Amino acid sequence: MMMKRLFTLLCALTLACAAEAKTVEAASPGGNLRLAVDVSDRITYGLWSGEDKILENCTLSLTLADRTLGEKPRLRSVKRSSADEVLERRNPTKNASVRNRYNAVRLNFAGGYAVEFRLFDDGAAYRFVTSLPGEVEVMGEACRLGFPAGSEAWLSEVDGFRSMYEEPYTRVATAEYDSADRMSYLPVLVGMPGGKKVLLAESGVRDYPCMFVRGDGAGGFESLFPRVPKEYAPAGDRNLKIVAEEPYIARTQGTRTFPWRVAVVAEKDAALLENELVWLLAEPAADADWEWVKPGLVSWDWWNGMRLTGVDFRAGRNTESYRYYIDFAARYGIPYIIMDEGWSASTTDVFHPNPDLDLQELIAYGRERNVQIVLWLTWLAVEKDMDRLFATLEEWGIPGVKIDFMDRSDQWMVGYYERVMKCAARHRLFVDMHGSYTPKGLYRTYPNLLTYEGVLGMEQGARCKPENSNWLPFIRNAVGPMDFTPGSMFSAQPEDNRSTGANPMGTGTRAYQMALYVVFESPLQMLADNPVLYRREHPCTEFLAAVPTTWDSLRVLHAACGREVVVARRKGDKWYVGGITNDRPYTTEIALDFLPAGRTFTMTSFEDGVNADLQATDYRKRVREVDASTVVKVEMVRNGGWAAVIE
């Protein structure tokens, strides 16, 4: 009996010592990233890139109604695994084939939960995994991120959880981001004193709110989340006002995986553009027929206001004007036009078209010319009668919808996105989530989700400047597709932008606007300007209409965060090159050694004109013969660009 008691005591002491302190280490497949997880009275971790500490004193926990997972944790076991496979992407925006190579370590704790870490050579991520009965109420999730002294961040500040996710980037020292009323949505970019950078993001957000961050008062960030809405009040035709909230951030199944907390680690800025971690970590799409989803260019009516000139009919939201848009799209091989707000009898009655236009006649007119019509909707109109509405649109022959004004990311709204995608897939509709939060990986789970807004794009007029837009490839577009709506033919330098409803203007040179189609990523890509201007600028339009919206491979030729970017993308046997710069002129040389050897190609480039720094519409078109040994000089004026096709 005494021996049995002694054995029990020794076991208890052993478990107590294990609970007091245990360090679990792991490394990425290439060994360049190292992770150390300490388990004592809480769970903390640090992440190194080579000899440089990237994240330090990071803590994590998940608070339920009855307890906190990660508080006084009891580690039961550690399970290690790895993967190395090549995955084929649907609607690829970087590479058609993506290598999924990581080492994983899973820490299983007493109490029905685990924390899983994955280490890739270009980043790391973790998530909670629970095996609990029934439903649970999640009161909060603590994700504290610490950074080396001297770090700085580029983030989009908001004053609350309701947001259009269209804020400019603010640069701030992480040590100074310490006010409780300052917060930002993800992704956030953090730069280390030695030059390395980490992009903070999330993936696999389903049945759960999106994460925001604020300063923790100690030079780091801490997470915060919107609570579940409880009561609403009407707020116009496109929104609801939340008047009461539940005390929890989510009520969800007790057995599930939670969102991945992602850190993309970049030794060089180019790695931010090349990374695909958000896609890799997201749930794969169901093994179903997705071939009906057709990415492509779309002519958009809203930005240019449909102010057509040189026509013999009254311009506006009417049959004649939309015929003009369809004719324009047909001429240039553009597969879609969008009918934005105003196509329906009202924003709430979307089963009947505006009486000034014959929608069925226009659908038939477009079908004869291989042009389909995408329809704009408010999220409230969709929510009111989703299945009947989508069934009606399918019957009409509508291929896709643009849904707008969600402006929230609480658990209910995140669930709304997924319900929309499921229902839209049943009725073979693709979706453009406008007025949306930033991508969290759902575009992999549902390939009919072609793009999101969640960006300070060109619809913001003079607010949209290269000084902000040139950060997008490194931050916003690095986590998923981006509906920036480029393509202004009437553009100006920032000091000259006098954009109005009658005369909208883009900022940056003509070549800058053209290069955005190569630099930015969106399987559904807008042509935002007036068809009259596009017809007038035929050489530019001919180029833009041929730029693919999905790609086979990506080469980043030069990248400096917020300053300049030059990329080359391949589709089939054609290469496209795009470059943009900020308010400083930029010149570089690019080697075309990515071309197959032994062949001669024709390169057609659109470059800043000699006076483009004064008159932004000035450009020149050049055609020359090139091969794999050619080195091309790329010159850009301030807020300028460079775009080319090699075929």
Give the C-alpha separation, 588 to 635, whole Å.
7
- Assess whether 407 carries a catalytic annotation: no
Tokens read off for 272: 């931010």
Give the C-alpha separation, 547 to 13, whole Å.
67
Q: In degrees rounded to 5, what are phi and psi of residue 267?
A: -70, -35
Nearest to 508, CA basis, from 583, 562, 565: 583
Annotated active-site residue in 116, 404, 483, 529: 404
Give the C-alpha separation, 531 to 304, whole Å.
9
User: What is residue 483's three-state secondary structure?
Assistant: coil
Nearest to 304, CA basis, from 453, 458, 452: 458
Give the C-alpha separation, 449 to 416, whole Å.
13
Give the C-alpha separation, 421 to 234, whole Å.
25
What pairs with residue 611 in β-bridges? none
User: What is residue 78's three-state secondary structure?
Assistant: strand
Annotated active-site residue in 116, 301, 459, 483: 459
Contacts (Cβ under 8 Å, ≥6 apart) of 395 = none
- Assess whether 301 carries a catalytic annotation: no
Q: In degrees rounded to 5, what are phi and psi of residue 489?
A: -90, -20
The dihedral built from the CA positions of residue 65, 71, 73 and 78, taken in this order, carries a sign that is: positive
Amino acid at 172: V
Residue 345: Cβ within 10 Å count: 12
- Distance, CA of 399 to chain centre: 22
User: What is residue 388's three-state secondary structure?
Assistant: helix
The continuous run of DSSP H or E covering 269 comes out as none
The alpha-carbon radius of gyration of the chain (Å, integer) is: 26
How many Cα atoms within 13 Å fall on the side-chain side of residue 368?
7
Helix and strand numbers, DSSP H then E, in the chain: 13, 36
Tokens read off for 503: 């005369």
Active site residues: 404, 459
